[in-house]
Amino acid sequence: MSLHVDHLRPDRDALAAAGAAALEQRLDAATLRLAPSFSAAVFDADGVVAWVGRGHQRRDAATPTRGTIYRIASMSKSFLGAAALVLRDEGRLDMHAPVTDYVPEFAAATYQGRPVHVTLDMLMSNRAGLAEDNPWGDNHLGASRAEMSRVLSDGLRLALPPDETYQYSNLGISLIGRAIEQVTGQPVERFVSERLLRPLGLHHTAYSLDDIATESARPDAATGWRTFDSGASWANEPYVGCGALGCIGALFSTVDDIAAWGGFLRSAFTDHPLSEDVLSAASRRELQRVHTIIAGTDERLSSRPLTGAGYGYGLVVEHHRRLGRIVQHSGGLPGFTSHMRWHVDSGVGVVVFGNSDATSAAAIAIDVHDRLLDEVVLTSTGEPSRAEPAGVLGAQLRPWPETLRAARLLDAHVRTGEQSIASLSDLFARNVLTDEPADVRDAALNAARARVGGVPAAASALETRLIDAPTEAVLRWRVPGAAGELICTLRMVGLSHPLVQAFSVVAGDAAADDRPSAMRSLPVTAEPGR
């Protein structure tokens, strides 16, 4: 079979020069104000062609090198998807079997009070109906397997019907790791290392810094940092542990290793795929095709010239109107942001790491990649546009009672502003007041209330001010002010007793992107973040 993919491969010297210029320009002083450091590279089928490092990765005298190690968060998911297909190809794992065949505790999960049929394929491709859980997932990355077993046994509550609609779920994808452990009898991290990382020579990629081979006693690793005042001050963010959810977000890596990983995956579309003994080309292509459509109405897709996008197995697949398939994924944890992307036809890719979650590695990588595709790879292709994907089901949803109760209490809090948000801590998952402390939230609310000229304590019923409820776990509504309005967004995590995992209040247009910083890992075009 001839795939004829390399016909757009650019001159390497031209790509290197343009890549260095694009990275230098994009990683300017304004960008650096929102992260202590960045490490960013442009690569092709043969590896890194241009690299730029900026800042101080530990806020000391050291500056990043190409070998500096960063936490890559949800970029880890593509390694998990590949590991699952290694076992599938060996006949040891059935991606279309019920998850309960491998994780019996999942049997307690329900949708609208009824048992559900969910497969490994649905989980890996974010089509299982589980509630989006980025802030909660960040906080539980190091949770023990026993704790997660209890969470599953208590019963997960789905926010959407399974097997119909895209909804990103860290907990859901982590169950692929549980299935791998059930089949192999060893920790999923060891399986990924033995079957993927070591055979591919990715010696600076691991779930623990202790497992990365270095010539010195201490790896050159960036530490995580957070800011709540746009970079005026910084607080060190300790590494989140690697527990039951570690398989979906705990990897550390370097730009060279990620360039090699992208090259390995992308080579599956060429006539000479790399390392077929590690994972077949056909299975690698399966990772990089759409399994679940991401709705074209998603505002984070509409700003780019895409004819469609969807989620594969641990990777987002975009279909560019002129350039065809682009594969990407972001990562985001408290203290870190990351993004990788590559154009299948040319092999041109970009990887960006930063050690703060106040900025977006995805936005940087997209800008650089788009510029290189336009200036170096292709200025006028004449390539036919890819067809629009079929639409996805849009249903009228009724929020959970817990969602409405939390919304009413938070709505009263926003309108009166009489007490600290800490007084409502019983509503919240434990990450809420650590992701953004109560005093920071209180100050931000007061500032937002002032921007709209103050907010009357009295208002019409909440139901008359609702904007939308995209799932049963998410609700947005308006709070009118004297000179504008506040937009409130509430996100629940679907445990047996749902809790608020994220809450934001912004002054302005309901169409604005009001996601909290912890959601920057959502794997979509403009800020897939995790």
What 3-state DSSP class applies to 336? strand
Instruction: Write out the two tokens for 208.
Output: 């623990």
Each of the 530 residues of the chain gets a pLDDT tens digit; together they read: 445 566 678 999 999 999 999 999 999 999 999 999 999 999 999 999 999 999 999 999 899 999 999 999 999 999 999 999 999 999 999 999 999 999 999 999 999 999 999 999 999 999 999 999 999 999 999 999 999 999 999 999 999 999 999 999 999 999 999 999 999 999 999 999 999 999 999 999 999 999 986 655 678 999 999 999 999 999 999 999 899 999 999 999 999 999 999 999 999 999 999 999 999 999 999 999 999 999 876 566 667 888 899 999 999 999 988 788 999 999 999 999 999 999 999 999 999 999 999 999 999 999 999 999 999 987 534 443 333 333 222 334 579 999 999 999 999 999 998 899 999 999 999 999 999 999 999 999 999 999 999 999 888 999 889 988 888 999 999 999 999 999 999 999 999 999 999 999 999 865 444 333 332 233 322 233 34
Residue 48 confidence (pLDDT): 99
Radius of gyration of the chain (CA): 22
Give how far Cα 138 sits from Cα of 153, 221, 289, 336, Å. 21, 20, 27, 11
Residue 79 confidence (pLDDT): 99
Give how far Cα 271 sits from Cα of 5, 10, 72, 268, Å. 8, 17, 30, 8
Contacts of 243 (CB under 8 A, 6+ apart): 140, 141, 142, 143, 144, 145, 147, 148
Residue 468 confidence (pLDDT): 85
Instruction: Write out the two tokens for 345.
Output: 């036809």
Contacts of 349 (CB under 8 A, 6+ apart): 42, 43, 44, 259, 262, 263, 266, 340, 341, 342, 343, 369
Closest CA to 148 of 75, 241, 83, 86: 241
* In the chain, where the domains are located: 401-516
Tell me the C-alpha distance between 119 and 94, whole Å.
9
List the beta bridge partners of residue 224.
Answer: 237
Alpha helices in 373-455 (DSSP H): 401-416, 432-435, 438-451
Residue 506 confidence (pLDDT): 95
Residue 527 confidence (pLDDT): 33
Tell me the C-alpha distance between 524 and 530, whole Å.
10
The residue assigned the tokens 């504008």 is 484
Q: Which residues of 25-59 are buried (b: 16+ CB within 10 A; e: fewer)?
A: ebbeeebbbbbbbbbbbbbbbeebbbbbbbbbbbe
Contact between 259 and 47 under an 8 Å Cβ cutoff? The reply is: yes
The residue assigned the tokens 């409502």 is 424
Give the up-direction half-sphere exposure of residue 469: CA atoms within 13 A in the CB hemisphere.
20
Closest CA to 47 of 271, 342, 326: 342
CA 174 to chain CA mean position, Å = 13
Tell me the C-alpha distance between 134 and 357, whole Å.
13
Identify the burial level of 90 via C-beta atoms within 10 angstroms of its C-beta, where 0-12 means exposed, 13-18 middle and 19 or more buried: exposed
